[in-house]
Amino acid sequence: MTEKLYYSDPYIKEAKANIIDIIEENGKIEIVLDRTIFYPEGGGQPSDMGYIDDIPVVHVRIKDSVIYHEVTEKPETKEVICKLDFKRRFDHMQQHSGEHVLAGTFYRLFKGNNKGFRLGENYVTIDIDIKVMTDEIIEEAEREANKSIYEDIEVEAIFSENGNIEGIPVRKEVSVDKNIRVIKMGDVDCCACGGTHVKRTGEIGIIKILKTEAYKGMTRVYFNCGERALKDYEQKNNIIKTLKKIYSSEEDLIIDKALRQKSELDEVKKSLSLMKKKIAEIIARSADIKDNKYFFIYDDLDFETLLLMEDILKEKTDSLVLGSLIDKRVTANTKDIDFNMGRFFKENINNYRGKGGGPKDKAQGVFDDEQGLKDFAELLKSKI
């Protein structure tokens, strides 16, 4: 069994250890130490990373109480120095401790149980068994969770080797009967957990809920804590500052201006759509169709207009090819039962820096450049 130094002190950044075993299997090298500062992946929390004698530790796992450290090469000595990527560790401590505070708050205020937890690279999620979660519930939970941070409550780790946790008010049933570790944060939360945590809730910094979504009859809550929440605020604040410049407006007026502009744009799009339809009708009705075929590459019409033209021209032709140099797209139709349009596109378009396809009688394609479109269209014209 490996001694878990990360439990005795999660703030240890460096420690000596002895190598017990080295396993080389399936192209991986894993080291077993007599003691470790590296937390292994588990319980929704990713593993720590760092170095063993300056050799990168890329992943850590635990199996049958043995902790395996995956490294990029074998150390040369039995006694090694372990160095932790503490920035990563402390981020995980902030996020995991914040998860306890937020999950405990949902349970305390709304009897919502946390049924799932994942600490990802960009955000944290918990799955609360409340099917419909209103904005009021979310706002109150976030507000109360942050109050618990401001109160700077002690985070206790209670360990029971024999599994006796009678009198400890855990908020969810414990699935093991020995070596139970409980994390208690005053009256905010009390839950069995094997992760790494901060000493006091104040170190979490802040909890910010990003969004929620329905998930398997529950609500999945996305959030960030500490430095992650600060970075998220910085990013969104920069967006607001940019919008203030664009709209020449203060923050509280940006939404009104954006909605007004959207309404104006919707009217412009409606008028433009009607205009494109009229242009398409005029050009299609006057098109010079020869031998029931029509082939034309336009440099002044977009693809949307060509599709409107296509609806009219395909009724008047046996074969039709329309291309837009503006959008570098082409559409084609045929009534020739001996010619497979979709197959022709799939077999040839890649040779002209394009991609596309379709069924037997109709296909569309898009190209990287105008010349590719023109050359492909000429080839297609020669085949239909």
In a domain, 296, yes or no: yes
What total of structural domains would you count in the chain? 3
Domain C-terminal end among 39, 56, 84 = 84
Same domain, 368 and 297: yes
Q: How far apart are CA 297 and CA 373, in angstroms?
A: 9
Radius of gyration of the chain (CA): 32
Same domain, 101 and 228: yes
CATH number where 66 lies: 2.40.30.130
Q: Read out DSSP for 158-178?
A: EEESS---TT---SS----SS
Return per-residue pLDDT of the chain as tens, 384 residues: 789 999 999 999 999 999 999 999 999 999 999 999 999 999 899 999 999 999 999 999 999 889 999 999 999 999 999 999 999 999 999 999 999 999 999 999 999 999 999 999 999 999 999 999 999 999 999 999 999 999 999 999 998 877 677 778 788 777 777 778 999 999 999 999 999 999 999 999 999 999 999 999 999 999 999 999 999 999 999 999 999 999 998 999 999 999 999 999 999 999 999 999 999 999 999 998 988 999 999 999 999 999 999 999 999 999 999 999 999 999 999 999 999 999 999 999 999 999 999 999 999 999 999 999 999 999 999 988
Domain C-terminal end among 29, 60, 84 = 84
Domain that holds residue 57: 3-84
Q: pTM of the entire structure?
A: 0.76
Same domain, 171 and 118: yes
CATH number where 332 lies: 3.10.310.40
Same domain, 227 and 147: yes
In a domain, 210, yes or no: yes
Residues 6+ apart with CB under 8 A from 22: 29, 30, 31, 32, 74
Same domain, 108 and 159: yes
Residues 6+ apart with CB under 8 A from 57: 38, 48, 49, 50, 51, 69, 70, 71
Same domain, 207 and 291: no
Neighbour tally for 30: CB within 10 Å: 18
Q: How far apart are CA 155 and CA 107, in angstroms?
A: 18
Same domain, 120 and 200: yes
In a domain, 240, yes or no: no
Q: How far apart are CA 88 and CA 13, in angstroms?
A: 11
Same domain, 375 and 310: yes
Same domain, 106 and 219: yes
In a domain, 251, yes or no: no
Q: How far apart are CA 178 and CA 175, in angstroms?
A: 10
In a domain, 254, yes or no: no
In a domain, 241, yes or no: no
Helix, strand, coil percentages, rounded to 5, for the chain = 35, 30, 30
In a domain, 263, yes or no: no
CATH number where 127 lies: 3.30.980.10
In a domain, 255, yes or no: no
Q: Is 316 helix (H, G, I), strand (E, B) or coil?
A: coil
Same domain, 157 and 214: yes
Structure tokens at 173: 């049933």
Contact 343, 358 (CB under 8 A): no
Domain C-terminal end among 26, 51, 84 = 84
Same domain, 94 and 207: yes
Same domain, 203 and 292: no
